Amino acid sequence: MSFITLNQIQKSFEGQTVIQEMNLEIKKGELVTFLGPSGCGKSTLLRMIAGLVTPEEGSILIDGRDVTNVSPKDRGVGMVFQSYALFPNMNVYENVAFGLKMKKMEKGEIHEKVMSMIELVGLTGKEKAYPHELSGGQQQRVALARSVVVEPKVLLLDEPLSALDAQIRKNLQKLLRSIQQRLGITMILVTHDQEEAMVVSDRIVLLNNGQMVQNGHPHDIYMNPATEFAARFIGHYNVLDAHDLRTLFGQTLKADGMYAIRPEAFQRTESGPFYAITAVVKDVAVLGNIVRYSMESNSVPFSADLLQQRESGLSPGSEVTLYILKEDVIPLT
Ligand SMILES: Nc1ncnc2c1ncn2[C@@H]1O[C@H](COP(=O)(O)OP(=O)(O)OP(=O)(O)O)[C@@H](O)[C@H]1O
């Protein structure tokens, strides 16, 4: 059953449509990510669910109640932003306790909840520290604890990790996901980082130009991008037209149109029903255990990811035969 429902939501700013006839259902306990390039409308969509922006058309339901005209504070929704927005004159304990005090909860109960929340975000021992004494990652842990401790029906997170260094971001992605799963909180996360979306989400809603391009499990979207935009945005696909493929494979494909091929779908050994390609290596980029080769075959450029091998024998100028399973050539709509 749907916990959050968006019904034909429409929004424009200064005559420009920013969100177009959006329909979406989110289940209780799901972590859904709004993913898309800058300006695609993901923050606006999130802010409409929070009640900070009013849609011109359509309705929003949370837990069976129409909240379209309900003020933000009465929606039972929590929010975490990119900037930590902690109270600078309160220490960690007081920041986390703030929402519970406002609810007039009994002191002993507040203490228990705050201490266990501080432990959950890994800040035990820092209760008395003030925000300016904490790193960016630690401050965002406090912001997360402060939003989660009041047990919102839904927690909305707008690029909460974007300001942090890569390694700290990865740690906080894991923390966010584990808190969400442990407490069963319904969360919606806005990000423009496809790797982040792949790692944390139950479901990705891919947006472009105010419209939903694709909606599905990260793995399904990755393996079966619906459109050229999805293929390019998720996972560095090669997007090629039927003419390019005829040139690459020396064979005619059934239908015209655009096709997507994952860089890691190329293999150096044959297996199953395959196409063979003879290509020349143009450039080599070592990405870690994977090496991304820029290749060209009869003037058609493409990239192929192969596992790092001690003796691959491949360098710029090398000629190589690659194989690709027929099922890995994905037609796009
Ligand atoms: N209050 C506003 N007034 C006028 N235009 C706005 C307002 N809020 C957003 N917009 C415009 O709406 C479009 C979508 O903005 P939005 O912030 O939702 O995009 P986004 O996908 O979250 O992008 P980003 O990742 O850059 O924040 C943009 O073109 C933006 O300039």
> Which tens digits make up the pLDDT trace of 245-269?
888 888 777 678 899 999 989 988 8
Q: Which CATH architecture has domain 2-233?
A: 3-Layer(aba) Sandwich (3.40)
- Count of helix runs (H) and strand runs (E) in the chain: 9, 17
Residues of the chain with CATH 3.40.50.300: 2-233
- Asked if residues 240 and 330 have their Cβ atoms less than 8 Å apart, the reply is no
Query: CA–CA separation, 82 vs 8, rounded Å?
Result: 28
Angle between helix 92-102 and 136-148 (nearest 10): 20
DSSP assignment string, 98-159: HHHHHTT--HHHHHHHHHHHHHHTT-TT-TT--GGGS-HHHHHHHHHHHHHTT--SEEEEES
Q: What is the ipTM of this complex?
A: 0.95
Residue nearest to atom 6 of ligand 1 (CA): 13
Mean pLDDT for all residues in the chain:
91
- Among 242, 161, 209, 268, CA closest to 19: 209
Query: CA–CA separation, 232 vs 248, rounded Å?
Result: 20
Its pTM stands at 0.88
What is the DSSP-derived secondary structure letter of residue 74? G
Ligand 1 contact via 40 beta carbon (within 6 Å): yes
List of residues 6+ apart from 329 with CB closer than 8 A: 245, 253, 259, 260, 261, 275
Query: CA–CA separation, 266 vs 288, rounded Å?
Result: 18
- Asked if residues 206 and 215 have their Cβ atoms less than 8 Å apart, the reply is yes
User: How far is C-alpha 65 from the geometric centre of its chain's CA atoms?
Assistant: 27
Q: Quick one: 56 exposed, middle or buried, by C-beta within 10 A (0-12, 13-18, 19+)?
A: exposed
User: Is the predicted pLDDT of residue 83 greater than 80, yes or no?
Assistant: no
CATH superfamily label, 240-331: Nucleic acid-binding proteins (2.40.50.140)
Residue nearest to atom 17 of ligand 1 (CA): 43
User: Which residue in the block uniquely carries the two structure tokens 């069963």?
Assistant: 184
Ligand 1 contact via 210 beta carbon (within 6 Å): no
Per residue in 196-215, pLDDT (tens digit) is: 999 999 999 999 999 999 99
Q: Name the pLDDT band for 85 (thresholds 50, 70, 90).
A: confident
Residues of the chain with CATH 2.40.50.140: 240-331
Residue nearest to atom 22 of ligand 1 (CA): 43
What is the DSSP-derived secondary structure letter of residue 176? H
Check residue 92 and give its pLDDT.
Answer: 96
